[in-house]
Amino acid sequence: MTRWHVWLAFTAGVPAAVAAQDTTAQRTPAASLTLAEALSTARANSPAYRQTLNDAGPARWGVRNAYGALLPQADVSLGFGYTGSGRSNFGGTTFSQTSPSYNSSYGIGLQMQISGRTLSAPGQMKALARATDADIGAAGTDLKQSITTQYLQALQANAQVGVARQQVSRNEDFLKLAQARYQVGQATLLDVRQAEVTKGTSEVSLLRAIQTENEAKLELLRRMGVAAPVAIDQLRLTDSFPVVAPEFKLEELLATAAEHNPALKALEARRSAAGASVHAAKSDFLPTLSLSAGWNGFTQQFTNEGLLLGQALSGAQGQYQSCLDNNVIRQSAGLATTPDCLASSGLLSPSELDPALASGIRSSNNVFPFSFARQPFSARATLSLPIFTGFSRHLRLAEAQAQRDDAEESVRARGLQVRTDVQGRFLALETAYRTIAVQQASRDAAREQLRLAQDRYRLGSGTALELSDAQNAIQRAEGDYVNAIYSYHIALADLELAVGQPLR
């Protein structure tokens, strides 16, 4: 855990009572922030970058889902129902149910469909996952450039505060000198007022420079995705960046950018994904094999057992009467007769059902909810090939090919843009480096001009206006020198973004 993360954790956990204490006795300590800490914190907290990272999960599950489609799908069902008594009509046939009943059923099914689309899906999803990874890489590079540039701009604003403070100090000396000369009669009150105005102007410039610095640090924290752990004026940026003569070769930079530029690599990955989509669209013209298998069972239990027993008694009595009639016929024909029609019919007496048979009827009805009657195993295989689909397959293929061609043109356009960016930023870096030397010479000349103006005014041969102009000139020269230094560093960061590789 970095010092910056420790500060974030500490400030987030400070109780409200501590905040209510008297803060006049002690000053809030300053927090330091390096560029490495800023980048690490931004990767963990930047909302825009984290939104890009969120795409990784669906992309990985897309690959798993594509492979899962090559395996059989399984489902299990369990149902319970109730049917009242009455009549129902199905297909012109009337069915009567004299007793309400409970019913239950289960089913275990396996289905599998193999088509060109399912076979090509893993490659398509892996291409999309690679494209997502490339997008994340590009977002990470953009984040690094954004944080680095804003860090440099905050340092630049801080350096401009130093220039403004130095100008205030010079103007204070100018005012003291004008007042001293006025007291001895070597200057007029106009010189004193001129010095006071110049000092006030420089103090306003200092306040504005401090405001610009604080706004730059606040913008840095916003891009990092965090709030300041201390008062913004107590946040210190500690990194420094040396100026080194650029010794890069343009052709090498162009070759590196063609291989590593993150935006270009992301578009190339999208182009590969678009090509996989074309293969998937072509696979729609292949046949589809569908396989299914299932196991099923059901129960039906009537609630009115007396009705079941009555139906069984009625049927047994019919068999008994039929047995008696057959015995009469067989006896007349001299044939053997059934010795016990009651027992063969399941009756204990002509008006009473055999208790054993009645117990069996009750037992066979007592099946709800889990005494299932299994149904035969079933399986089915179907091979289908659409002949005419209203040209929908041709439309999908044409759209996929158009997207692939668009992706190809996007890659080509981005390649041209990358070359333009690299060349332009390479030239901008060289210009920025040369500008530093020019601004340094201007600053040295302005310093010499200020020294001469101060000496002339001190000796009485110069005017207050001349000295004021010299001080304004040195402030502009020093400010321009600071801008030249950080323009160089920002130009180098822009070139790194275009190339896609660190160059420091």
Q: What is the mean pLDDT of the chain?
A: 88
pLDDT at 331: 82
DSSP state of 55: T
Confidence of residue 95 (pLDDT cuts 50, 70, 90): low
The confidence score (pLDDT) of residue 191 equals 87
SS3 label, residue 340: coil
Kindly give the residue spans of alpha helices, DSSP state H, lying in 102-224: 116-183, 189-224
Per-residue pLDDT, 186: 84
With a CB cutoff of 8 Å and minimum separation 6, the contacts of 139 are 48, 49, 52
What is the domain partition of the chain in residue ranges? 30-71+117-287+390-499, 77-114+291-384
Beta bridge partners of 290: 113, 382
Which one-letter amino acid corresponds to residue 202? S
Please name the residues in contact with 339: beta carbons below 8 A apart, sequence gap of 6 or more: none
Q: Tell me the per-residue pLDDT of 23-50, one tens digit each, with 9 for 90 and over.
A: 333 444 558 999 999 999 999 999 999 9
For 377: left if phi > 0, alpha if psi spans -120 to 50, otherwise beta; the answer is beta
Helix (H, G, I), strand (E, B) or coil at 201: helix
Give the pLDDT confidence of 412-434 residue by residue, as tens digits: 999 999 999 999 999 999 999 99
Q: What percent of the chain has pLDDT over 70?
A: 93
- Kindly state the average pLDDT of the residues 388-396: 91
Instruction: Give the pLDDT band (50/70/90) at residue 460.
Output: confident
pLDDT band at 91 (very low <50, low <70, confident <90, very high): low
Pairing of strands 93-97, 86-90: antiparallel
User: How would you classify the pairing of strands 352-353 and 347-349?
Assistant: antiparallel
For residue 231, the 8-state DSSP code is -
Residues 41, 44, 48, 49, Cα dihedral to 10°: 110
Residue 287: count other Cβ atoms within 10 Å of its Cβ.
11
Tell me which architecture the domain covering 30-71+117-287+390-499 has in CATH.
Up-down Bundle (1.20)
pLDDT at residue 30, rounded to an integer:
59
b/e map of 106-132 (b: 16 or more CB within 10 Å)?
beebeebbbbbbbbbbbbbbbbbbbbb
Q: What's the rounded Cα separation, in Å, for the pair 77 and 107?
A: 5
The predicted structure's pLDDT at residue 54: 95
Asked if the model's pLDDT at residue 19 lies above 50, the reply is: no
Per-residue confidence (pLDDT) for residue 10, from 0 to 100: 36
H helices then E strands: how many in the chain?
14, 11
Confidence of residue 18 (pLDDT cuts 50, 70, 90): very low
Burial of 489 (0-12, 13-18, 19+ CB in 10 A): buried
Please report how many Cα atoms fall inside a 13 Å half-sphere around the Cα of residue 89, on the Cβ side: 1
390: amino acid identity, one letter = G
pLDDT in tens, 322-331: 888 888 888 8
